[in-house]
Amino acid sequence: MPKSHTGPDLLGKQVNVPTSPEEAELDRVENPHPDVRYLARFTAPEFTSLCPVTGQPDFAHLIIDYVPGKWLLESKSLKLYLFSFRNHGAFHEDCTVRIGKDLSALLDPVWFRIGGYWYPRGGIPIDVFWQTGDPPAGVWVPDQGVPPYRGRG
């Protein structure tokens, strides 16, 4: 699990990209509207990690949705955390679920989900989905908007 902070510890500062998810720091800030149920979304269309077997790069389009409770995710720390996977060897499933679990543990959200839409490796695309339960009633949860992989067919 990465280090975590309450308050924007990285915001407005020049920082180096962490070399691993364990070295990364995640910041959270207080939600100014904890009494309102709404959905926040982060989209990372250029996520990369390494295949743990071949060392070749893997690419994914990540969609992170959550209904905040007391905390919001600070976006610069998220960017640096996701960059830290560039030299990290792990399978698609491990990366996607790990990110989801790390962020969910940091934020303690009302609801959380992550969709990892991975580009084909060996001719097979792999999509990985993880969530903490059913979304709360009355919250609009839009489709993640990533079409299924169709290739040239």
What radius of gyration do the chain's Cα atoms show? 16
- Verify whether residue 58 is a known catalytic residue: yes
3-state secondary structure of 88: coil
d(CA 73, CA 68): 9
Catalytic pick among 9, 27, 35, 58: 58
Catalytic pick among 51, 94, 102, 127: 51
d(CA 73, CA 103): 8
Contact 38, 139 (CB under 8 A): yes
Contact 118, 97 (CB under 8 A): no
- Verify whether residue 51 is a known catalytic residue: yes
Known catalytic residues are 51, 58
